[in-house]
Chains A and B, each alone.
Chain A
Amino acid sequence: MLASTISFYLAAAVALGSALVGMLSRRPERALAWFGLVGAALVVPLVQLGAGMVAAIELLTGLVGLAMLLGLAQVRPASASARPKTRPKPIAAWLLAGLAVLGLTWVLLATGSRQVVEAGAKLKPGFGESAALDELLFGRYLVPLELVGLIALVVLVAAVLAVERRLQ
């Protein structure tokens, strides 16, 4: 087994395990830490796919998102009545979720033993380099990128206006 295969399986196990533990965790700080580990573990498969730049951007956006969620975890509602009443989940829901996760894990493990080889297209020289990605983003996909930037500006203004009363 090659080192790249071992590292892929290790990263996949860490990502899936962290996602599961984070989802089951009852303490917000711990859950967010596990979610952060998911983002860090996903760097390995992304780099293996030749998407190092995407991995860096995904890691950065994930960290910013985690910081926002961590801030949200410290917020307490203004009134006690805002806290929702908790009621126990039906056991069928847990059974269904467990079966789904088990099935997905089995599929993932079965893929490794099946030796499915998809060669795919032949990669051009320079594939995965940040210069090629920049050329695409600021060339062929300039308009979508500008639109995302415009939406980001609108979102920031809307978010600031939405919490303005809270800040006052």
Chain B
Amino acid sequence: MISSLPVTHFLYLALALFGVGLTGVVLRRSLLAVLGGVQIMIAATVLLFCAYARYHGDMAGQASAVIVALVGLLELAVAVAVVLRATASPTGESDLLLDWTGSAEPEDPR
């Protein structure tokens, strides 16, 4: 059942959801909240693609939305793997995440 609602309703909903996700990513320090915020932003993007697909009457937008959803899941898988790898380190995240210029030089584990 395709609704007769104007497409702007869906666009503004996607915008609002993207804003909430972005606000959480920027303001929260909890890793879970940040990753959840990214997932909300990806869901908003999927909604946006589908709204434009209906507006233009072209299902290519829906195909793109499927690919975006799958890539979002892969991004989450990489993030989880990196965090697991970091927490497994005996010195915590220090030797994996503190290798930026200006930070303490990590010891070579080899």
Contact = CB atoms under 8 A, between A and B. Distances in A.
Interface of A: 2, 4-5, 8, 12, 15-16, 19-20, 22-23, 28, 31-32, 35, 38-39, 42, 45-51, 53-54, 57-58, 61-62, 64-65, 68-69, 71-73, 75-79, 81-84, 86, 89, 93-94, 97, 100-101, 104-105, 107-108, 111-112, 116-118, 120-124, 127-128, 132-133, 136-137, 140-141, 144-145, 148, 151-152, 155-156, 158-160, 162-163, 165-166
Instruction: Say what secondary structure dominates the interface of chain B.
Output: helix
A54 B71 contact: no
Nearest to A156: B77
B81 to A, nearest CB: 4
Contacts of B10: 45, 48-49
Given A77-B87, A100-B23, A163-B81, 9 more contacts: A35-B39, A42-B43, A49-B10, A58-B43, A69-B76, A111-B9, A121-B58, A127-B2, A144-B67
Contacts of B94: 81-82
